[in-house]
Structure 1
Amino acid sequence: MEAGTIQIICGNGTGKSELALGRAIREVSRGRRVIVIQYLKGSMPREAEQWYKKLEPGLRLFRFEKNGEYFEDLDEQKKAEEVQNIQNGLHFAKKVLTTGECDMLILDEFLGLVDQKIVSDEMLRSLIEARDPSATLILTGRNCSEKLRKYADSIIDIEKMDLNR
């Protein structure tokens, strides 16, 4: 994987976040700094939190949402509160990309923010254009819009397998 690329991992299949995390672990093992920001995930099991802690300081995980439920399950008031928290996470992501704070930034379920219309096209473009050219950016989620595809250096589309064939 080349440094400074924009990679998208999308599709209806499972394992998108795991693939991104595998790439992160590989980079950490090479002495590179990785930041993962997760969106729209709901609460994280305590065991997973402890596992991520073991990878510090090479890999740092951030979650800005305060409610433990999935975004889609929230009422409108809680969604509005979470959108503000998500916006804080997006500002942090932009800061990380512009300051060279990491070698790789993974925005896990970022494509869901685009689907939910939490991220505008302008915000998306601003985030990508602000990136330090040496930083690798990985975006995950189900759907990859045509507008986003034009920024990508590589796209991995993970399809759901029919195991009954």
Structure 2
Amino acid sequence: MDRRIVQVFYGPGKGKTSAAVGQCIRAASLGQSVIIIQFLKGNDAEEFNFLEKLEPDIKLFRFEKEKESFSELLASQKKEETQNILNGVNFARKVIDTGGCDVLVLDEILGLIDLEIITVEDIIHLIELRDDYTRLVLTGQNLPEELVEYMDVISKIELEKDITVN
């Protein structure tokens, strides 16, 4: 398979990252190399620490230094974390440009547009950078209309009911 597939999981519901991770596990089971880069969740998102057990088939990267998610930080912390996040985006660019994996998941990258850390054009540039990778998976709450034409698979995740207390 030498045609790129760009897939997005977006929406207000829970499970976008889990759906993306499901794609990763499926790809790894087929012998493909997988990289996940998480944004905005801090470096202590324990719910996905189990992925470290799946290395080297699935590699997880977090560039943020603070434990808390970006939304919980003070303004002074956000400024420093913004640079760390941009380092993560640059790493994603390098992975795509060098063909560093078969499947690249950019978890919560669409949220970076909402926060004006990156632009829609930055995402388009990532998508167009290289056309011989297998799959690029993006997640986030909102999908800008300008990106729809660049997507091959779009899944909107909406919450119908939530009785959990956490």
Q: What TM-score does the superposition give when structure 2 sets the normalisation length?
A: 0.90
Query: Is the Cα contact below 8 Å between 1:100 and 1:135 reproduced in 2?
Result: no
Q: Work out the CA distance in 1 between the residues paired with 2:3 and 2:57.
A: 16
Q: Match for residue 25 of structure 2?
A: 25
Separation in 2, partners of 1:118, 1:145: 15
Q: Any gaps of 5 or more consecutive residues in structure 1?
A: none
Percent of residue pairs identical:
47
In 2, Cα distance between equivalents of 1:95 and 1:67? 24
Corresponding residue for residue 92 of structure 2: 93
Matched AA of 1:135: T
Distance in 2 between the 1:56 and 1:86 partners?
22
Match of 1:52 in 2: 51
CA distance in 2, matches of 1:5, 1:71: 29
Structure 1 residues 1-165: aligned runs within 5 Å: 4-42=4-42, 43-45=44-46, 48-49=48-49, 51-162=50-161
CA shift for structure 1 position 163: 6.2
Secondary structure of the 1:68 match is: coil
Name which of structure 1's ranges 117-126 and 102-111 shifts more when overlaid on structure 2: 117-126
- 1:117-156 CA distance string (max 9 Å, x none): 1112332222111134333100011110101212101100
Q: How far apart are 1:162 and its partner, in Å?
A: 3.3
Q: Measure the CA separation in 2 of the matches of 1:53 and 1:73.
A: 25
Counterpart CA distance in 2 for 1:48 and 1:158 is 19
Structure 1 runs of 4+ off > 3 angstroms?
none
**CA separation of 1:162/1:75 partners in 2, compared to 1, >3 Å: closer, same or farther?**
same
Corresponding residue pairs, total: 162
Would you say the 8 A contact 2:96–2:129 is kept in 1?
A: yes
Could you tell me how far 1:2 is from its partner in structure 2?
Answer: 9.0
Shift of 1:64: 0.2
Q: Contact conserved, 1:34 with 1:60, CA < 8 A, in 2?
A: yes
What TM-score results when the alignment is normalised by the length of structure 1?
A: 0.91
Deviation at 1:44, TM superposition (A): 2.1
- By how many angstroms is 1:98 displaced? 1.0
Unaligned runs of 5+ in 2: none
CA RMSD of aligned residues (A): 1.9
CA deviations on 1:12-57 (whole Å, 9 max, x unpaired) are: 1111100110110010011000000000112222x742x2122111
CA distance, structure 1, for counterparts of residue 3 and residue 19 of structure 2: 17
